A and B are shown apart, each in its own frame.
Chain A
Amino acid sequence: MRQLAEQVDVLPEGSEPGRTRAAEGLAERAAAEVVEQLFHASEARLGRFLAQMVDNRALAEDLLQDSFYEVLRCRDQLPEIDNLEAWLFGIARNRALAALRKRRRLRGALERLVQRPDPAERNDLELLELRDLLQRHLDPDDRALLLLRYLHGFDANELAAMTGRTPEAVRQRLARAKRRLVRAAGRTPTDSDQEREP
């Protein structure tokens, strides 16, 4: 972590003229410590989320690295952020969706042919079936919403902050994604238009 922090050019753009370089250095160190604590607290959960989102562990590692790097890059915004973890997951989600879009656009057919799941997952047929089910019936954005809501416990307000939508829009989208998944799995969804998402 500390090494990662040191890789980044530390002086933020647009520094106030009156601030001394020493004060800027102190602020930088404080921000780096906050980022370091955030990494320490969130790395495992975020790493799991990314491994759930993409079935390529090397790609998931890259995305995790990119996400943390992005946090470091934007660390001067940290004081303005209410929910750091939700913000971090939002960055990771955006990175994952961008990677999936890019992969689908450029290499989709080839990936399907040559992609192999992580060795630890190859014998987990239930997990392979779930990945297949999600990939066939839900777009990556909806998959991310379901994972973040049902496996990582973020509520509609936090998801709204992550996705740039209103909480109501998030609830509706979650409800639709949920119904689609339940139907795809051969289960009977609750037949109600009333959205009762968080």
Chain B
Amino acid sequence: MSAVDTTFETLRSQGRKAFLPFVTAGDPNLNFTGKVLKELISRGASLCELGIPYSDPIADGPVIQASYTRVLDQNQKLADILKAAQTWTTELSAPIVSMVSYSIIHRQGLENYVTSAKAAGIAGAIVPDLLVEESAAFAEICRREDFSLIQLVTPTTPRERALQICETSTGFLYFVSVTGITGERTELPPEVVEQVGWLKARTDLPICIGFGISKPEHVKMLAPVADGLIVGSAIVRKIAEVEEKGEQAVLAEIGALADELITAINS
């Protein structure tokens, strides 16, 4: 069992649901990313997603895309991220999974990516551009190394296919709430509740919903059917204001947002 499996098992036994914040690694620097992760976990985040910046992130909206560009412009390397992660993960009480393009994994070598991420204390990967058809070789390595490979289902995924994805995904299933890219939305499509409910009746895998979630209203609508909720752009947007507002103010704002969302999730 990976640390992700253990986390969801504990949450289930306690009748609680997960809050999964997303943070871009190195925005605006790795030191601050470590502080944000610590803050989020101290507020009750069950698991954190660490976004590995990529030059061509086609599933990401302007907020996360801009954060990736900011980091890559500073010439930050994957090795720098892993080195920093190694120091954070020894202190953090919740697991970290990487959100990473297959372009990066392929370039590192599949096996090498998994072993070096594991060595840095990272418990798994969400690979937004790796479809189930292309994932056999990587999934095999992840299984052997007990590294969670979290796969995605979207509103456009046919139901049969969604079940097939559930079979190969480990850790949890990432259910994308909207047909679109990451980024905050005013409203989320109500069908997602029915779609996730249908899947939940057919799989034991924890299902977490992400994309577009930023408000307590979203959380209240989705929490009853989900095992966890993922929030990315709303946090990354706050981090983008560090230069203007200062680290302490931004950490406080992120903490307050986390409190608000976690309360809504478990209300």
- Do the two chains bind? no
